[in-house]
Structure 1
Amino acid sequence: MQTLLLWMFYISTFYAFIPALVSRIFGFRVFRRGKSEREYALTFDDGPDPVYTSQLLDLLKRFDAKATFFVVGINAEKHPELLKRMHDEGHLIGIHNYVHKSNWLMRPVTVRKQIAQTESVIRRVTGEGTTFYRPPWGIVNLFDISKNNGRRIVLWSSMFGDWKASVGAKQLAERMLKKLRGGEVMLLHDCGTTLGADAEAPRNMLIALEKLLMVAQERQLRSVRVDTLLCRQSGNQSTVSSLSSRDWMKKTMVFGWLQYERLFHALFRLRPVSKNNTIFYYRRRIYHGPNINMENGRWLEKGDPIIELHFDNKVLFRLGSTAKSMVHLAIQLIRIVKTQLPDLAQRVVHDSGMKGVKAIYAVSMIHRGPEKLGFQIREIPQGLFKHMSTVYLKLLFRIIHPSGSEQLIEKKEVMVPKLIVMPIDTLFDRFQQVDSHQTDHAFDPTDQRDVVHTRNNELAEEDAVHASIRASKTADTGSGN
């Protein structure tokens, strides 16, 4: 049951939660807001509707306002005359799936069919296709943002609850006027027949929209299509402002990621290895991967109890922010892991719940040099687990390392996750007798006192780690020639 729950958590996280987080909060591969001072975008979902869409088109024509309609394919197929009128009057038509169903509940191939079917309807009626797409409820899945196939995903910067009739026209107009400014992408609905909506709700929307268009005209603001607003995206913002925006976004991403990590730790009861400044957390699990030859006649097999390690992402981000290079980051991690493996050995010895474990293991893209600590590096077999681990770790690496995106592009052939495994008796042989009081003293990689007080054999071992990492790096460079 725990394994099933874990896999459900992993799948929902990779397929739904993380893509929704990075697209909605951070705007990754989606358009949410423009940079124009005098132009804003009105967007309408779920239509066309035989009653309200024609009234909406009349209203827009009266104010010479252009809009974007994200149509539901089955509705467009029923009312082709409304689709043609949208096109003839200069509005932009986008796709909102063939039926109004969440992308979280459909396989990637089903989503692609929904999009293709809707575009086919649009092309047949208007003679033109479209590259603009808004998933129902703005919910994207992993494949929506990883392989957009030329589609431009459009979300929004403001919405008003106009799908509920209980939000009267007056209150709706007040909400909309508060958001009336240049660059805004407003989400509205010209159809009330979808799940959770009220059939008569668009009536209030039309009353509120008329008020908005009147005020916009007074303020000399103009409603334009999404593609027009998108063309203004380059803007004329200063470099300083752009850098400040990216810095704010980076901090927000880190904050969101750490909150996700706290939830993961709580759900699966991960425990810190050290009381202060732990580098990783651990838990007991049953191994479900391929059989691994751990050398000397020892095998890790499916069904064996193991200790699974998870790096503390807060520490990783702190180290990545100061690391001069990938080699530097790897060396810092190896130093810290070395100081905390004795703590892990002590915890395993005194924890009755860890009796019988056969090995410790982790999955990481930073796997240069740990062989000197007793770990073995193994490839992850092709499959769903490797694919999801790759997506997760690449996204994490982009966050924790200042040049993470560039590193992933330049070294995409070697930046792949691998299994890091150590037999439990190797952990005991190497680290059980080490004094644990040295751990906190040596934790800070910027503190040079650890170099001064390191014994000769430790210096030699560290030099070997340096050499191993650099040799691996050189081999990678050479393999690309």
Structure 2
Amino acid sequence: MEIILWIGFYFLTFYAFLPALVSRIFGFRVFMKGQSKSEVSLTFDDGPDPVYTPKLLDLLKRHGAKGTFFVVGENAERNPELIARIHEEGHILGIHNYVHHTNWLMRPRTVKRQIHRTSDVIKRITGSRPMYYRPPWGIVNVFDYANLGYLQIVLWTSLFGDWRKKVGADKLYKRMKQKLRPGEVFLLHDCGITFGADRDAPANTLSALERILDDGRELGYRFVGIDEMITITERAKKKGKPIERTATRRSSMSNDEQAGDNAHKVGPLKKLVVSLWMLYEKGFHIAFRLRPIGEGHFFNYRIRRYSGPPLDLQGDQTLRSGDRIMEIHFENQMLFDLGMNSKSTLQIGIRIIREMQNALPDMARELAKAPHGDEVKALYGVSMIHRGADSLGYETFELPRGLFSWMTNIYLRILIRVIHPAGNQRVRDKGDSMNPRMLIMTREMLLSWADESSPRKRRPVRSAKANAGKQQAENAAETAADFEETTIGELV
């Protein structure tokens, strides 16, 4: 049963969760943000709507603005005259599936059928097929990259919760005004009949948008279709001239200064990514019945059977396939909070070392009450290895090459980008040397941490090799130089 759960979890991760996360973080195969001096793109999802779409088109016409409409196929089929008007007035039409269902819950063939059906509807009405696609909720699956090569996937830089009526026009306007700048791709809605939306919410969108269009005109901005924004961006990239106003200032900052500068700044996009990540983690905990260690703030665990190659451990012991292990998982929410409230990798590294050291006595005592705890042969974790692990009694081993190693490598790299204040830079600078390792501690070594007399300060009995490097490892926990060479090493 566990094997089936593992296969299912990995399938969902690589079919749906990671592709969505990769698209969000790295912009892989999607367009999210423009590089422009005075252009803004307004995009509208879920329509057309017989009540609000005509009013929106009237508003855009009065202001000489162009928009991009990602239409739901069944709505387009019911309102062909609105599709024709959108096209005739020079706006861009895109696809938002035939019905408003997430791609995570549909097979690749079903997604493809939804897109083709919507494309056919638009072609019958306008005489041309759309070139742009936005999946509902911005969620792609891994096959979308291959199956939709002829379409440009478009996401967004800012969304404002305008599908909820209770947000109100004033608050919606303030949110939009705060994000009004060149290169932005706004996500708005001209229809409120989809699941989770309020029927009359687009009325607030229209009210707030009218004020934004006035503000944009005063600032000298142009509101353009996504096709023009993409063209302008491609030209800017070819010239190699960064558009963002903060580029010069940031280029002169060190990595850690940039980390500190961003430590407390979490935009809506990253909030969404982190929320998805934490939701995934909760599902993982439930599926594999992880149990908390101590107060459960930093670590969780489960008892399972080891399934890798034989590993020679300290004390002439060998860990073999079928032996029970205590598998440790880091609590990603706490790791994210730690990263967002730290100014440098030094602070994160020191805190992680201390938390690991503090948790080892609890891990040792957990063996006494865990199911099959008396059969556990070793403590086991997977990490982007850091120096100093041997000072706690761990031995490190390379992950055997294969599918699991490859997937773990991708998972940990994305994790570092999400939770590390300078994660993007670290992956770029040290990506070639960042490979996951197994951290393993023998049962005897783990139990030596359970000394109640001084559980936070004592060190386990070390092998001669570990003792030889003791001073270096302890210095590593206290000096910036050692930690700056250390990959943070999250156990996940």
User: Is TM more than 0.5 here?
Assistant: yes
CA distance 1:460–1:151, shift in 2 (3 Å)? same
- 1:375 corresponds, among 387, 395, 398, to 395
Residue of structure 1 equivalent to 2:86: 86
**Secondary structure, aligned partner of 1:355:** helix
Instruction: Please tell me whether the aligned partners of residues 120 and 129 of structure 1 are also in contact (alpha carbons under 8 angstroms).
Output: no
Q: Which amino acid aligns with 2:292?
A: R
> What is the CA distance between 1:363 and its match in structure 2?
1.5
1:281 and 2:304 correspond: no
- 2:412 corresponds, among 368, 381, 393, to 393
Residue of structure 1 equivalent to 2:189: 188
> What is the CA distance between 1:60 and its match in structure 2?
3.8
> Which moves more between the two structures, 86-95 or 2-11?
2-11
Instruction: Please tell me whether the aligned partners of residues 134 and 154 of structure 1 are also in contact (alpha carbons under 8 angstroms).
Output: no
CA distance 1:377–1:462, shift in 2 (3 Å)? same
CA distance 1:462–1:441, shift in 2 (3 Å)? closer
- 2:468 corresponds, among 445, 451, 460, to 460
> Which moves more between the two structures, 77-86 or 304-313?
77-86
5+ residue gaps, structure 2 = 234-241, 252-257, 475-484, 486-492
- 2:324 corresponds, among 291, 305, 308, to 305
> What is the CA distance between 1:224 and its match in structure 2?
3.8
Residue of structure 2 equivalent to 1:450: none
**Secondary structure, aligned partner of 2:327:** strand
1:234 and 2:243 correspond: yes
Instruction: Please tell me whether the aligned partners of residues 133 and 154 of structure 1 are also in contact (alpha carbons under 8 angstroms).
Output: no
> What is the CA distance between 1:285 and its match in structure 2?
1.9
CA distance 1:393–1:349, shift in 2 (3 Å)? same
Q: Which amino acid aligns with 1:152?
A: V
Map 1:90-129 onto structure 2 (within 5 A). 90-107=90-107, 111=111, 114-115=114-115, 125=126, 127=128
Residue of structure 1 equivalent to 2:225: 225
- 1:439 corresponds, among 456, 471, 491, to 456
2: CA distance, partners of 1:161 / 1:400: 29
Instruction: Please tell me whether the aligned partners of residues 300 and 358 of structure 1 are also in contact (alpha carbons under 8 angstroms).
Output: no
Q: Which amino acid aligns with 1:462?
A: K
TM-score, length of structure 2 as denominator length? 0.62
Residue of structure 2 equivalent to 1:470: none
> What is the CA distance between 1:419 and its match in structure 2?
3.1
**Secondary structure, aligned partner of 1:154:** coil
Instruction: Please tell me whether the aligned partners of residues 325 and 376 of structure 2 are also in contact (alpha carbons under 8 angstroms).
Output: yes
Q: Which amino acid aligns with 1:160?
A: D
**1:45-75 deviation per Cα after TM superposition (whole angstroms, max 9, x unaligned):** 2344678756754564355332211023465
2: CA distance, partners of 1:290 / 1:397: 25
CA distance 1:110–1:423, shift in 2 (3 Å)? farther
> What is the CA distance between 1:378 and its match in structure 2?
4.2
- 2:424 corresponds, among 398, 401, 405, to 405
2: CA distance, partners of 1:425 / 1:4: 32
CA distance 1:32–1:288, shift in 2 (3 Å)? same
Instruction: Please tell me whether the aligned partners of residues 271 and 282 of structure 1 are also in contact (alpha carbons under 8 angstroms).
Output: yes
**1:141-183 deviation per Cα after TM superposition (whole angstroms, max 9, x unaligned):** 5777999966332364224337xxxx69xx9766665556344
**Secondary structure, aligned partner of 2:155:** strand
- 2:291 corresponds, among 270, 288, 307, to 270
**Secondary structure, aligned partner of 1:93:** strand
1: CA distance, partners of 2:309 / 2:358: 29
Instruction: Please tell me whether the aligned partners of residues 321 and 401 of structure 1 are also in contact (alpha carbons under 8 angstroms).
Output: no
Instruction: Please tell me whether the aligned partners of residues 305 and 358 of structure 1 are also in contact (alpha carbons under 8 angstroms).
Output: yes
Instruction: Please tell me whether the aligned partners of residues 263 and 342 of structure 2 are also in contact (alpha carbons under 8 angstroms).
Output: no
1: CA distance, partners of 2:174 / 2:466: 64
Instruction: Please tell me whether the aligned partners of residues 102 and 137 of structure 1 are also in contact (alpha carbons under 8 angstroms).
Output: yes
5+ residue gaps, structure 1 = 443-453, 467-473, 475-481
Instruction: Please tell me whether the aligned partners of residues 416 and 423 of structure 2 are also in contact (alpha carbons under 8 angstroms).
Output: yes
**1:395-436 deviation per Cα after TM superposition (whole angstroms, max 9, x unaligned):** 2222454543234234444423233334434545xx368786
2: CA distance, partners of 1:323 / 1:52: 50
- 1:158 corresponds, among 151, 157, 160, to 160
Residue of structure 1 equivalent to 2:437: 418
2: CA distance, partners of 1:173 / 1:437: 60
Q: Which amino acid aligns with 2:303?
A: R
> What is the CA distance between 1:14 and its match in structure 2?
7.2
> What is the CA distance between 1:360 and its match in structure 2?
1.8
Equivalent residue pairs, number: 437
2: CA distance, partners of 1:376 / 1:10: 25
CA distance 1:133–1:390, shift in 2 (3 Å)? farther
**Secondary structure, aligned partner of 2:376:** coil
Q: Which amino acid aligns with 1:249?
A: K
CA distance 1:388–1:107, shift in 2 (3 Å)? farther
**Secondary structure, aligned partner of 1:209:** helix
Q: Which amino acid aligns with 2:206?
A: L
TM-score, length of structure 1 as denominator length? 0.63
**1:188-231 deviation per Cα after TM superposition (whole angstroms, max 9, x unaligned):** 22584x55678xx57x8479738954895598466543455675
Q: Which amino acid aligns with 1:188?
A: H
Instruction: Please tell me whether the aligned partners of residues 321 and 400 of structure 1 are also in contact (alpha carbons under 8 angstroms).
Output: no
CA distance 1:47–1:358, shift in 2 (3 Å)? same
**Secondary structure, aligned partner of 1:65:** coil
Alignment RMSD (CA, Å): 5.9
2: CA distance, partners of 1:217 / 1:343: 61
